[in-house]
Amino acid sequence: MSYDLVVIGTGPGGYVCAIRAAQLGMKVAVVEKWKTFGGTCLNVGCIPSKALLHASEMFAQAAHDLPSLGVIVGAPTLDMPAMMKHKDDTVAANVNGVAFLLKKNKVDTHIGVGAIAAPGKVVVTADDGKTTELETKNIVIATGSEVTPLPGVTIDEKIVVSSTGALKLDKVPGRLVVVGAGVIGLELGSVYRRLGAEVTVVEFLDRILPGMDTEIARQFQRMLEKQGFNFQLAHKVSKVEAAGAGAVVTIEPAAGGDAKTLEADVVLVAIGRRPYTQGLGLEAVGVAMERGRVVIDDHFATNVPGVYAIGDVVRGPMLAHKAEDEGIAVAEILAGQHGHVNYNVIPGVVYTEPEIAAVGKTEEDLTAAGVVYKVGKFPFTANGRARAMRATDGFVKVLADAATDRVLGVHIVGRGAGELIAEAAVLMEFGGSSEDLARTCHAHPTMSEAVKEAALAVEKRAIHM
Ligand code: FAD
Ligand code: NAI
């Protein structure tokens, strides 16, 4: 079988790349070792976690928020199998959707582990050991990432779980200890906190959500504490031991000091993800790697001619939309076009309640780079729609270059922040200023008016504050 392009891995990077290449007239195949397409994101990541986040948020709202709106439904009861079925149905609809799209675009699909035997040659080994050889002009590696293990701790996906096990617990743990106050820890911690678990998050650093704007992270930590989260910041886990039907977690101050123990029914290890390249045969063909990541140039090319790489397996944030955009860019480059990804404008969203969304630079980034900037902030307490929805927690922060007024970063904590950030991304993609944002008419009453008001606040002229 001979192709213009073989993509190894069908996560958001791989399947989007394959579809774009097919749209551009290439003969394309994908190789996938799992039984379903869509990779981490659709099978065990973005999609199932958002299904559980939505369902558990509805449960929390029914329990705590509806009475204040005059809606009396009584104390909600949890049907855990039904909630998990909602998640499984959502995953099935999405992975089947990708299968349909690949077929519609005439992309050949090969199920099995793909290995690069030589430039232009991919060998697919199916579960039964049968091999198929694919000839191809180009190869895109889109094999994604896997959970980073905690040294000395065995993940059994029952008591000590990764995100994958946490997405399919059969009951709500009484006590959940989360290791790592990153995106996974706070999202999946939120799911089980809302459903009644006592949640303690152990984080090595002295703050949550490293990389996010510090002011936003601090305020958000207080909001989570109000929701009942316990934090053990500046602590590391030194031991996790089985104890009865649960575990005992030993933690120590990161700077040294006395150890203490936490009892848990379930321990979620969420200390990051690492690139996945096992079984690809990269060493044999001489593809350069650096700290586990495949090294690429500005055009996604590895050092081996005809071999490219995108998504979690290369540098940059491990985000589905970043992988997708790289998939499109490399397909366009292979078709002789000018595919490009603007890494300055990759939004990041934490899908908690409230949500956190950010695009561009943080204040810390700008200070470190010596950029002089202006700040405009607006709280949701002063937004009419937020009051109407009793969603007044949080604020919007716009950072603009002091000399040119160009918007360099926007940070939001608030309900629906993940949707609100899109207008900031469009503005920044067009090199827009805070003046542009402030003079754009925003519908009333909407949460997005807080974004406009924060832009007005850059020049100290917010109207409703
Ligand atoms: P992946 O999605 O990891 O896909 C790689 C694919 O390659 C897999 O299907 C794998 O089976 C296959 N593969 C690997 N090796 C081979 C081989 N040798 N042969 C054949 N196939 C192979 N990101 C967001 O942007 N938003 C979110 O809300 C979000 N939520 C997340 C929640 C969780 C719990 C997790 C774990 C991650 C989340 N992410 C989220 C991150 C997101 O899932 C990844 O950034 C994204 O999936 C990366 O896409 P990818 O195409 O690079 O790789
Ligand atoms: P993360 O990198 O976001 O957070 C890991 C946290 O664990 C960090 O705060 C780190 O300081 C801490 N940590 C590391 N070692 C530790 C130790 N030994 N003890 C205690 N704390 C320790 O990683 P996470 O949450 O596992 O997510 C992995 C990736 O998946 C992220 O890169 C993220 O981009 C992606 N993701 C994205 C989501 C989204 O966009 N909404 C949702 C979930 C995951």
Q: Whose CA is nearest to atom 45 of ligand 1?
A: 319
The ligand placed nearest to the CA atom of residue 50 is 1
The CATH number given to 348-458 is: 3.30.390.30
Residue 37 has pLDDT above 90, yes or no: yes
> What's the pLDDT score for residue 188?
98
- Show me where the domains of the chain are located: 2-147+274-334, 160-271, 348-458
**Percent of the chain, pLDDT > 90?**
100
249 — pLDDT class (breaks 50, 70, 90): very high
Q: Which residues line ligand 1 (CB under 6 A)?
A: 8-14, 31-34, 39-41, 45-46, 49, 113-114, 142-145, 163, 184, 276, 279-280, 311-312, 318-321, 323, 351
Q: What is the pLDDT of residues 377-433, one digit of tens each?
A: 999 999 999 999 999 999 999 999 999 999 999 999 999 999 999 999 999 999 999
Helix 320-334 to helix 12-23 angle, to the nearest 10 degrees?
30
444 carries an active-site annotation: yes
> What mean pLDDT, rounded, does the chain reach?
98
Residue 11 has pLDDT above 90, yes or no: yes
Residue 358 beta carbon below 6 angstroms from any ligand 2 atom: no
Residue 70 has pLDDT above 90, yes or no: yes
Residue 431 beta carbon below 6 angstroms from any ligand 2 atom: no
Q: Are 9 and 142 in contact (CB under 8 A)?
A: yes
Give the list of residues 6+ apart from residue 3 with CB closer than 8 angstroms, or none: 26, 27, 28, 29, 108, 134, 135, 136, 137
> What's the pLDDT score for residue 135?
98
Ligand 1 atom with the shortest distance to the CA of 46: 30
337-to-16, 27, 299, 311, 331 alpha-carbon distances in Å:
17, 17, 11, 20, 9
The CATH number given to 160-271 is: 3.50.50.60
Residue 256 has pLDDT above 90, yes or no: yes
Q: What is the pLDDT of residues 334-377, one digit of tens each?
A: 999 999 999 999 999 999 999 999 999 999 999 999 999 999 99
Q: What is the pLDDT of residues 142-164, one digit of tens each?
A: 999 999 999 999 999 999 999 99
Q: Give the distance from CA 105 to its chain's centroid.
A: 27
The CATH number given to 2-147+274-334 is: 3.50.50.60
Strand segments (E) across 112-245: 113-118, 121-125, 131-141, 145-147, 160-161, 175-179, 198-202, 230-232, 235-243
Per DSSP, 157 falls in state S
Residue 1 has pLDDT above 90, yes or no: no
Nearest to 198 by CA among 222, 177, 223, 183: 177
208 — pLDDT class (breaks 50, 70, 90): very high
Same CATH fold, 160-271 and 2-147+274-334? yes
The sheet that has 160-161: what strands, in order across it? 160-161, 266-269, 175-179, 198-202, 230-232
Question: What are the start-end ranges of the H helices in 358-440?
Answer: 363-368, 384-388, 417-429, 434-438
Q: What is d(CA 112, CA 33) in angstroms, rounded to the nearest whole number?
A: 4
| Greatest Cα-to-Cα distance within the chain, rounded to the nearest angstrom | 69
The ligand placed nearest to the CA atom of residue 309 is 1
- Taking the whole predicted model, whether its pTM rises above 0.85 is answered as yes
Q: Whose CA is nearest to atom 38 of ligand 2?
A: 183
Task: Compute, in angstroms, the gap from residue 203 CA to the centroid of ligand 1.
Answer: 24
Three-state DSSP class for residue 147? strand
Ligand 2 atom with the shortest distance to the CA of 163: 26
Of 64, 299, 444, 464, which one is the catalytic site residue? 444
* Cis ω before 445 (30° cut-off from 0): yes
Q: What is the pLDDT of residues 287-312, one digit of tens each?
A: 999 999 999 999 999 999 999 999 99
The ligand placed nearest to the CA atom of residue 272 is 2
**Percent of the chain, pLDDT > 70?**
100
* Cis ω before 275 (30° cut-off from 0): no
Residue 12 has pLDDT above 90, yes or no: yes
